[in-house]
């Protein structure tokens, strides 16, 4: 699960990101409203933790803009504004939940678990299947006709995104941003290497699924016609 944490308190932002990553979440962070506007425009996150008070751009403006694009990513507002009217404004702007500061980290985890249990779509499932393969995000395992194998975190993140968008051509930059993050300095050759690893694992699992290279564009997960 990839989380975008938007919090202008540097120490709190660092602390929350560190604790979330220890729990196994992938976390990208930003501390400014203008940067948050860019990050939220990237359709790569499974959850956004959004500070209510941000410099340079108001969080409610960011949230309304996000919802205007039909992006349904869950958003939890983190705020020191605990009045009923403030909560109503946040929820009406498109937030899914509202957590008042100061809060215990255990409560934040419980709110995240609650969001994941909600019946949305792919984003809240632990199992992703296509044709004859299944990927378990909790155990990080790929299962096919000939058995099960364990994937690395990067392999799992790539395969999960391919499965969520099976039969669709995914641009290379979209895949790089989704798995390594918008600001990561990573060579495109790394993506090719990981695709090779995933292809090998799919083949070893005895699957009919293939990752097709779309030259000059990216990759597509599809079922081979035998």
**CATH (domain of 35):** 3.40.50.2300
Q: Which two tokens stand for residue 173?
A: 């930059």
Residues 6 and 113 in one domain: yes
Domain C-terminal end among 122, 139, 172: 122
167: left (phi over 0), alpha (psi -120 to 50) or beta: left
Domain extent for 62: 2-122
Residue ending a domain, choose from 122, 147, 172: 122
For 103-151, write each residue's pLDDT tens digit.
Answer: 999 999 998 988 877 655 444 467 888 889 999 988 899 999 999 999 9
100 shares its domain with 13: yes
Residue 177: CATH number of its domain: 1.10.10.10
Residues 85 and 130 in one domain: no
- For residues 28 and 65, membership in a common domain is answered with yes
**Are residues 164 and 192 part of one domain?**
yes
Instruction: Please state the pTM of the whole predicted model.
Output: 0.61
**Percent with pLDDT over 70 in the chain:** 94
- Number of compact structural domains in the chain: 2
- For 159-200, the pLDDT digits (tens) are 998 998 888 888 888 888 888 877 777 787 889 999 999 999
């Amino acid at each position: 699960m990839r989380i975008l944490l938007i919090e202008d308190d540097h120490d709190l932002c660092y602390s929350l990101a560190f604790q979330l990553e220890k729990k196994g979440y992938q976390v990208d962070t930003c501390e400014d409203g203008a940067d948050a506007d860019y990050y939220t425009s990237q359709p790569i996150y499974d959850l956004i933790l959004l500070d209510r008070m941000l410099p340079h751009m108001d969080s409610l403006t960011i949230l309304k803009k996000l919802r205007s694009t039909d992006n349904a990513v869950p958003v939890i507002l983190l705020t020191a504004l605990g009045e009923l009217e403030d909560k109503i404004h946040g929820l009406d702007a498109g937030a899914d939940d509202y957590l008042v500061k100061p809060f215990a980290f255990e409560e934040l985890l419980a709110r995240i678990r609650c969001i994941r249990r909600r019946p949305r779509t792919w984003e809240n499932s632990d199992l992703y299947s296509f044709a004859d393969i299944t990927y378990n995000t909790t155990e990080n395992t790929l299962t096919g006709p000939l058995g099960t194998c364990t994937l690395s975190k990067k392999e799992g993140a790539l395969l999960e995104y391919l499965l969520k968008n099976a039969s669709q051509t995914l641009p290379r930059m979209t895949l790089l941003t989704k798995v390594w993050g918008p600001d990561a300095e990573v060579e495109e050759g790394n993506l090719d290497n990981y695709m090779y690893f995933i292809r090998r694992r799919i083949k070893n699992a005895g699957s009919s699924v293939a990752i097709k290279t779309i030259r000059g564009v990216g990759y597509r997960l599809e079922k081979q016609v035998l």
